[in-house]
Amino acid sequence: MNEPGRNARSTADVFDVAVVGSGAGGGMAAYVLTRAGMRVLVLEAGRDYDPVKETPMFTTARSAPLRGSSTSDKPFGYFDATVNGGWEIPGEPYTVAEGSKFQWWRARMLGGRTNHWGRFSFRFGADDFRPYSRDGMGVDWPIGYDDVAAYYDKVESLIGVFGSNEPIANQSASSPGVLLPPPAPRAYELFVKAGCTSLGIPCVPMHAAVLTRPLNNRPACFYATGCERGCAIGANFQSTTVLLPPARATGKLTIRTHAMVYEVTLDPSGRASGVRYVDTVTGKHEHVRARAVVLAASACESARILLNSTSATFPQGLANSSGQVGRNLTDSTGVGVLAQFPALEGRPAYNEEGTSLPHLYIPWWLHEQQKAGKLDFPRGYHIEFDGGRTHQPEMFMGVFGSLVGDVHGAALKERMRATYGSFVSFAARGEMVPSADCYCDIDPQVKDRWGIPVLRFHWKWSDHERRQARHFTATMRKLVDRLGGKIVAAPADDDPDAGLSMGGEIIHEVGTTRMGAKPRDSVVNGFGQSWDVPNLYVMDGGVFASNPDKNATLTILTLAWRSADHLVDQFKRKAL
Amino acid sequence: MSHFKLNLDLAMPRYPVRAARDVSLLTLDRRTTLKWFGAAMLAAKVELASPASKLVSISARQGYGGDPDLQHPSVPWPRTLSKEQLLIVAGLCDVLLPDDGRSPAASAVGVHEFVDEWVSAPYQEQQQDRAIILRGIDWVERQTALRSSQPFHRAPREFQVELFDRLIEQQKAGESKSEMATFLPRLRYIAIGAYYTTEAGIADLGHIGNQPMAGDYPGPTPQALEHVQQALRRLGLSL
């Protein structure tokens, strides 16, 4: 083998495991499998990426083109960590069925979307694993919270998550000593919390994958530079700083970048024999062999690979005897409100940046009422709020300038000073019910630049989500009113979709290779192992049987660790 | 995530955007874009088709691509405004953001040059703004020629402010009544965003940060905490 961890190209090699993707699922698979002594090849469609060398720490908006504004080249702004990605990637299209709206965020870099992700890290609650039993919709998971609790502890201890255990229904507690202490709340967060308290709404420390204490040779956050840029000192979780370095250190890991996998190949006995990929630099098609294959390319990309892996035995795609590959696609719901609070004007200045993430949030607080049928929507949401002087001034100052009235000259400057730090945005992130209207399949006509058929998305919100969105907006009106503020942007009253985000826009897409108790209606078992092809595992969000309001990444990491342990165990038993 | 666009910066503050990775207000962004800025997009389309404005197509130019050097940012496109156009933009920006004794005038910190960078950029939003801004510059030039013997930037401050007030009236008249309704909102957005991202602008806001801290994040100072407590007391609330 060549230098461990770099782009060895000995395709004659047979690896123990080929892992497709290097983000949360693929990074964790590589971490667990290499430490168990297995020879692992990670295939990443994008380029190599080193946050230590590439992260723009401390750089201000002024130094960037257009002051760092969002553009089609960098949709989350110039300094966002995403490389060669975004909603559209030249030469790598996807299509959206007529009448549907959907957007798909991709990154083409080592570590994938973990480099820029939001870092919010909530455990699922016990009821989150049995949604069908609770409200008769969707399906239950084949596993329960007790199956994963110890893995959540392991993941949180490895990546570092700050937060606190709070006695709230359907919120799971970490074991003592696992969570890092949460950072002190900011002034405007305490202000909002007081309003929440008066309305009986909990407002508690955020859970996020940012170090508030040194951990595993990584330093604590120094409270400057936004996490979405990545972190040169490794104080937040990225696959590239937390999972791949220790995997490389085993000497068992080979990483091949610019390797766009499009097919899982089979041996004559119907077992996975490896993967085919396009080298995106040379355009050459390559095959690599492995004793087991792990798909962790993201929920939709892994589904695409399976649907494109057709054969006489599997004419409708690999591991798809259930017909469920690509189905049950869900995203979090997203709705937002922006408010301005006169009471927060003229605040004494202090360093309000903190971790760059919210230090408090509002967890779903009506679980019991919902369970008892007292609400007109079945699934919950939480609220992330952000504002004040948390972020270095960027072009959003121009928006504030539009919200302070038609004044100009010295009066405008005075209003800008007075209102600075008095704006707070509130965003709901909620659970949708899996629906027959939301799925992806292969577009019958369109292919990407390498000739690989592309995904076509189908999407429609239901009244469940619209009612949930309206509940959020109505609640925000009460809260903002209680705090003497005014809402300056909110969903229009006549919006038929109640201000809901577009499908895929919240970038929490999961469910396309869901796990289940029976092969008839699921793609993988409770360990992420394909029912049809036992040496094929899925370790990304595709395996989720439902999509609770608790953001997916922490659970992707947790399930991937558990699945990788299962894969190791299967090898040890010579079951594969 | 998000988190996006016609244009997030235009529609929403940065924090919802950040939030959007995980906290986005994407849909809201789009809708508020329309609500707040009065169909600027539509206006832009109309104006792009107008032969009157001094439009130069810059769509063939390249942006910085999907993998720019984040450590050493640079603007790959050339600026395109003429000297006369820049002087008019500088004059307007200084009416908007003058030296008030606490912080410098917009032109002293290069805001007009940023407007040039913005309207010269090859991206869709900026090209739409280009049509709006160039047409506005034309209008100011013509109105000045009709009423003053001096070019706009040399005209007395009273004249400049009066013309600026007329632009505000046109903004208020709305798009159905004035072709210029979108000019001032867009110039305001670009100029104010540019100004408050300069060192002088950030200092004027009193923003403190971007400094590494050792140890725990301390949270609010006693004074900042006291301010919130007083604000809550006035609302009949407490921490």
Q: Is the predicted pLDDT of residue B3 greater than 90, yes or no? A: no
A89 to B66: CB separation less than 8 angstroms, yes or no: yes
Answer yes or no: do B121 and A66 touch at CB < 8 A. yes
Report the residue from B31, B224, B237 with minimal CB separation from A350.
B224
Give me Rg for the CA atoms of chain A.
Answer: 23
pLDDT grade for B77, boundaries at 50, 70 and 90: very high
Residue A440, min C-alpha distance to chain B (Å): 19
B184-191 average pLDDT score: 96
CB-closest option in A72, A348, A482 to B223:
A348
* pLDDT at residue number B17: 34
Question: What would you report as the CA-atom Rg of chain B, rounded to the nearest whole angstrom?
Answer: 21
How many beta-carbon pairs under 8 angstroms link A with B? 399
Per-residue model confidence (pLDDT) at position A248: 98
Q: What distance in Å separates residue B233's CA from the closest CA in chain A? A: 10
Could you say which of B12, B210, B235 has the minimum Cβ distance to residue A58? B210
- Give the separation between CA B65 and CA B67, rounded to whole angstroms: 6
Kindly report the number of other CB atoms within 10 A of residue B145's CB atom.
Answer: 12
By C-alpha distance, the chain B residue nearest A390 is B15
CA distance A82 to chain B (A): 8
Residue of A335, A347, A386 with shortest CB distance to B15: A386
pLDDT of B59 reads 53
Is A406 in contact with B191 (Cβ distance < 8 A)?
no
Q: Which two tokens stand for residue A348?
A: 């004494």
Q: Which of A79, A191, A427 sits opposite B25 (nearest CB)?
A: A427
Nearest Cβ partner for A67 among B193, B209, B211: B193
Cβ <8 Å between A506 and B75: no
Nearest by CB to residue A73, choosing from B18, B65, B194, is: B65
Cβ B2–A396 below 8 Å, yes or no? no
CB contact under 8 Å between B36 and A74, yes or no, is: no
Closest chain A residue by Cα to residue B9: A396
**pLDDT number for residue B9:** 31
Shortest Cα distance from A408 to chain B (angstroms)?
5
- Does B98 sit within 8 Å of A410, measured CB to CB? yes
Mean pLDDT calculated for residue range B181-201? 97
Looking at residue A11, its pLDDT comes to 54
Q: What is the per-residue burial (b if ≥16 Cβ within 10 Å, else e) of A4-42?
A: bbeebeeeeeebbbbbbbbbbbbbbbbbbbbbbebbbbb
Could you say which of B24, B65, B195 has the minimum Cβ distance to residue A334?
A: B24
B87: closest CA of chain A, how far (Å): 18
Looking at every residue in chain B, the average pLDDT score rounds to: 80
Give residue B49's pLDDT: 34
A116 contacts in B (CB within 8 Å)?
Answer: 21
pLDDT at A272: 98
Distance (Å, whole) CA B19 – CA A337: 12
The Cα of A389 is separated from the nearest Cα of chain B by a number of Å equal to 7
Of the partner residues B7, B66, B231, the one whose CB lies closest to the CB of residue A84: B66
| B226 CB neighbour count, 10 Å cutoff | 13
Measured between beta carbons, which residues in chain A are less than 8 angstroms from residue B35? 489, 492
Residue A576's pLDDT is 87
Contacts of B168 in chain A (CB under 8 A): 406, 408
User: How far apart are alpha carbons B232 and B239 in whole angstroms?
Assistant: 8
Find the CB nearest A427 among B4, B23, B232. Answer: B23
pLDDT of residue A408: 95
Name which of A182, A175, A258 is nearest A6 in CA terms. Answer: A258
Min Cα–Cα distance to chain A from B3, Å: 6
pLDDT of residue B47: 35
What phi-psi label fits residue A68: left (phi over 0), alpha (psi between -120 and 50 degrees) or beta?
left
Report the chain B residue with the minimal C-alpha distance to residue A184. B219
Two tokens at B214? 């050792």
Largest Cα–Cα distance in chain B?
Answer: 64
Nearest Cβ partner of B237 from A198, A338, A505? A198
Using DSSP, state whether A250 is helix, strand or coil: coil
- Interface probe with A: pick from B4, B7, B21, most Cβ of A within 10 Å: B21
- Measured CA to CA, the distance from residue A334 to residue A549 in angstroms comes to 10
Q: Give residue-wise pLDDT tens across range B85-103.
A: 999 999 999 999 999 999 9
Alpha helices in A268-344 (DSSP H): 299-308
pTM flag (> 0.90): yes
Whole-number pLDDT of residue B96: 98
- Is B27–A500 a contact, with Cβ atoms under 8 angstroms apart? yes
Q: Do A425 and B13 touch (CB under 8 A)?
A: yes
Tell which of B114, B192, B230 to mutate to test the A interface (max A CBs under 10 Å).
Answer: B192
Tokens 């410098």 correspond to what residue?
B104
Residues in A touching B17 (Cβ below 8 Å): 70, 76-77, 396
Q: What is the pLDDT of residue B179?
A: 82
How far B44 CA sits from the closest chain A CA (Å)? 18
Q: A484: which chain B residues are within 8 Å (Cβ-Cβ)?
A: 235
* Cβ distance of A401 and B2 shorter than 8 Å: no
pLDDT tens digits, A376-398: 999 999 999 999 999 999 999 99
Q: What is the mean pLDDT of residues B170-175?
A: 87
d(CA A470, CA A493): 9
DSSP per-residue letters across chain B: -----S-HHHHS-HHHHHIIIII--HHHHHHHHHHHHTSHHHHHHHHHT-SSS-----TTS----SS--SSS----SPP---HHHHHHHHHHHHHHS---SSS--GGGGTHHHHHHHHHT--SHHHHHHHHHHHHHHHHHHHHHHHH-SS-GGGS-HHHHHHHHHHHHHHHHH-TTT-TTTTHHHHHHHHHHHHHTTSHHHHHHHT--------SS---S-HHHHHHHHHHHHHTT---
Per-residue pLDDT of A33-75, as tens digits, reads 999 999 999 999 999 999 999 999 999 999 999 999 999 999 9
Does B197 sit within 8 Å of A61, measured CB to CB? yes
Are residues B28 and A338, on separate chains, in Cβ contact within 8 Å?
Answer: yes
Q: Which amino acid, residue A449?
A: R
pLDDT at A131: 98
Q: What is the DSSP string of A101-169?
A: -B---B--BTTGGGGT---B--PPPGGGG-HHHHHSSS---SS-HHHHHHHHHHHHHHH--B------T
Residue A495, token pair as written in the block: 């919006």
Closest CA in chain B for residue A226: B18
Torsion B160-B162-B163-B168 (CA) sign = positive
Banded pLDDT at B42 (limits 50, 70, 90) = very low
d(CA B88, nearest CA chain A) in Å:
16
- Dihedral (CA of A392, A396, A398, A399) sign: negative
Contact between A491 and B13 using a beta-carbon 8 Å cutoff: no
The amino acid sitting at A438 is: C
Low-confidence stretches of chain A (pLDDT < 70) are 1-12
Closest approach of B40 to chain A, Cα-based (Å): 14
State residue A304's pLDDT score: 98
Q: What is the DSSP letter of A346?
A: T
User: Would you call B13 and A399 a contact, using CB atoms and an 8 Å cutoff?
Assistant: yes
pLDDT of residue B176: 83
Model confidence band, residue B62 (pLDDT cutoffs 50, 70, 90):
confident
